Amino acid sequence: MGHHEAKLLTPDEVRDIISRGARAGCSEALFTFGERPEEVPGFNKWLFDLGYDNIIDYLVELCKLSISIGLLPHSNPGILQRSEFEKLKPYNASMGLMLETTASIKGHDGCAGKNPKTRIRTIEYAGELKIPFTTGILVGIGETWEDRVRSLNKIKEIHEKFGHIQEVIIQNFIPKPETLMGSYNGPGIEDMKKTVSMARQLLPPDIAIQVSPNLISPRELIKCGASDLGGISPETIDYINPESPWPNLMELRSMANVPLRERLPLYPKYIKEGWYSAELKHLIGALSDAEGFRKTY
């Protein structure tokens, strides 16, 4: 969902995308939408016309659809209440929400969904419900180095309490024209290398450090401790950063310059420990190998 145009995908459109992904060999369906989509004019009417009272109930049905086609859902629906997590948990292999920063920054003024305390509480709800989770920090949004340290320490604190954070994304901010933060300068490679190194030192070893290969070349960041490159799609663009195309698999291997191994949206540790529902058991069994990585044929 962009700043100038909003669209709610219909079930048939979602089915088409997921089916193409399944045929292409994908294992994950990522569901995401912007902050507070119900505030977009016309959004609630779209939902009502489809027969749903709220976006969470609609998302549950799309996750069920994804499972039936053969892709494991991973949802990033923004700020959630515990009851909403309870609805989504049986139909999601993992979920996520970027912390971004614990600092109060100018770029978040007027956006209640960016309140750090609210985002932290959302991440804690997921921990209480034992949902494998992805979070991360956004680098270059007006935060200080000390803010980055505090943000990562907060993530560490939450994980030490609940044990559910499987990866932390260190994401370089990409300024977008005609937005509140369009005049910001994104971080350079040296700043990212320093941040990834610091994250690897601060966070527990069972949390992977992820970087986004369509936003920054990962080779130097892998040397600094990054061990996960997230997901790429042969069928869809990165809707959050549409100006940054995904690399294909051959390009990704060249960029990384290390052997790559495909995983599912929930990490092997959580597969082995049974952090998934009965609704997902068959599909996880079909897609994962004995070590909990993606099965190869």
Average pLDDT on 262-287 reads 98
Give the global pTM: 0.93
Rounded CA-CA distance 261/252 in Å is: 12
Percent of the chain past pLDDT 70, that is, above it, reads 93
pLDDT at residue 198 above 90? yes
pLDDT of residue 43: 87
Cα separation values, 221 from 34, 84, 155, 166, 257, Å: 28, 35, 20, 19, 11
Q: In angstroms, how far is the first alpha carbon of the chain from the final one? A: 36
pLDDT in tens, 278-293: 999 999 999 999 999 9
d(CA 48, CA 3): 22
Task: List, in order, residues 6 or more apart from 283 with CB less than 8 Å away.
Answer: 67, 70, 72
DSSP 8-state secondary structure symbol assigned to residue 139:
E
Query: Exposed (0-12), middle (13-18) or buried (19+): which is 131, by Cβ within 10 Å?
Result: buried
pLDDT of 191 over the 70 cut: yes
User: Which two structure tokens, joined as six digits, stand for 286?
Assistant: 């079909």
The full set of domain ranges for the chain reads 97-260
Q: How far apart are CA 170 and CA 150, in angstroms?
A: 14
Q: What share of the chain is helix, strand, coil (3-state, %, to 5)?
A: 45, 10, 45
DSSP 8-state secondary structure symbol assigned to residue 114: G
Can you give the pLDDT at residue 109?
Answer: 64
CA 293 to chain centroid, in Å, comes to: 18
Give yes or no for residue 174 having a pLDDT over 90: no
* Residue from 245, 250, 255 nearest 222 by CA: 255
Residue 1 has pLDDT above 50, yes or no: no
**What is residue 241's predicted lDDT score, i.e. its pLDDT?**
84
Looking at 212-248, list the stretches that DSSP marks H as alpha helix, in order from N- to C-terminal side.
219-223
pLDDT above 60 for 182:
no
Torsion of CA 52, 54, 55, 56, to 10 degrees: -100
Summary mean pLDDT of the chain:
92
Can you name the CATH fold of 97-260?
Answer: TIM Barrel (3.20.20)
The answer on pLDDT for 2 being more than 90 is no
Tell me which residue of 176, 175, 215 sits closest to 192, measured CA to CA. Answer: 215
Mean pLDDT to the nearest integer, 229-255: 91
**What H or E segment, with its residue span, contains residue 95?**
strand 94-96
CA distance 225 to 222: 5
Q: Which residue has the tokens 């092997």?
A: 268
Model pLDDT for residues 76-128, shown as the tens digit of each residue: 999 999 999 999 999 999 999 999 999 877 766 667 677 899 999 999 999 99
> What per-residue confidence (pLDDT) applies to 41?
84
Looking at the DSSP assignment, which residues form a beta bridge with residue 96?
Answer: 134
Q: In this predicted model, what pLDDT tens digit does every residue of 3-59 receive, in sequence order?
A: 445 678 999 999 999 999 999 999 999 999 877 788 888 888 989 999 999 999 999
According to the model, what pLDDT value does residue 48 have? 93
Q: Assess whether pLDDT exceeds 70 at residue 179.
A: no
